[in-house]
Structure 1
Amino acid sequence: MSGKKTLVLGASTNPERYSFKAINRLVQHKHPVVAVGLREGNVAGVEIEKPQTIHNDIDTISLYVGPAHQPVYFDYILQTKPKRVIFNPGTENIELQQMLTQNGIQFEEACTLVLLSIGDF
């Protein structure tokens, strides 16, 4: 597989959720995907895992966890050391963005689905 290895944080097996749609679209666009969520399951052939394993080869974390629930993931995100974090609509968090900046991790407030659809992912 080519493409940017992407960790979807807040993965869900619910087809109504944007994280579910993002995993499917990332797989269609040939990006390797790691799905991390609270409940086990499978989306587009990708097993959802708990936030325990630190993956050291992640290009992008696509965030689908609201700001109120993000603090428990701060260390996990920073230890993963992605090249960038995408704050999807509704996940924007200045505290986390400051931590990313301090750790040399780029971020953008964008929508993964839109970036993929316009070829700008």
Structure 2
Amino acid sequence: MSAIAALRQRLTHQTCVDLADGAGGTSHAFLSVEQMWGAVETVATEFGVSEERPRAAHGVRITVRAPHTIAPGDRLLLGARVFQVEAVTDADGRGRFSRCHCREEQP
């Protein structure tokens, strides 16, 4: 199977924008930028306690075709799943694919 055929999940790329809150401050909101095909792979799972409740965080590697505008701090959506982008690297060393290192938290 080719690398392009492995990109089977339809992802929505969102970037964080600052909005004036009307009281002199700002609030953060996410704006949908584009949709793309990607391959989602869970690579690690961490368990812990947050706000006195058990939580799990998954380390996820998402591969997409390059070029794109994904940057650390953005997020990718797959249905109801939300992936926070922590880093973006060149997946194949030739600039054809990008690998996003993400974190998905579950309550």
Q: Which has the larger radius of gyration?
A: 2
* TM-score normalised by length of structure 1: 0.22
More strand by share: 2
* TM-score normalised by length of structure 2: 0.24
More helix by share: 1
